[in-house]
A = this chain, B = another copy of it.
């Protein structure tokens, strides 16, 4: 079983929120800091502006070859120099979820090159995907990115490329939260 990761936006936590941009749909409540916890009990602290939950889970689209390429190039989370982060919660439309598996894969990779594009920004941009849909969460996905400040331009390029894809026409809600880590 996978551990549920809880992202709490409020007044505490090691990550300072430096930008909160609504890309599509409703914004989140204002918050100054972000706390990230695995298997937190309860629903976050009382002063929380919002609490989002997701599970890393198993892979839904990646094939054996792509998995090997991703594993070879992916850095771990928590690199000392990776003091910049982004949390991008996304919800896709009912039309997306109603597609059969083969057509979702087709849009995802053959049509939108989601995996191939991400690979080009490795090992600079570390990434972890969390699934929230089956938990009844407001967001289907919470993607967490970590990078060092000199790679910020590369990260902007990556998110801009993904937002231009056919896959992104299925996105009905997207919030883009940028963060800076406090020194330990």
Contact = CB atoms under 8 A, between A and B. Distances in A.
A6 B160 CA distance: 41
A21 interface: no
A126 interface: no
A55 interface: yes
A1 interface: yes
A30 to B, nearest CB: 25
B101 A59 contact: yes
B134 A66 contact: no
Contacts of A105: 101
Contacts of A55: 134, 136
30 contacts: A1-B133, A1-B136, A1-B137, A2-B133, A2-B136, A4-B136, A55-B134, A55-B136, A57-B133, A57-B134, A58-B97, A58-B98, A58-B133, A59-B100, A59-B101, A61-B101, A62-B100, A62-B101, A63-B100, A63-B101, A63-B102, A64-B100, A64-B102, A64-B103, A66-B100, A67-B100, A101-B101, A131-B134, A134-B134, A134-B135
Interface of A: 1-4, 55, 57-64, 66-67, 97-98, 100-103, 105, 131, 133-137
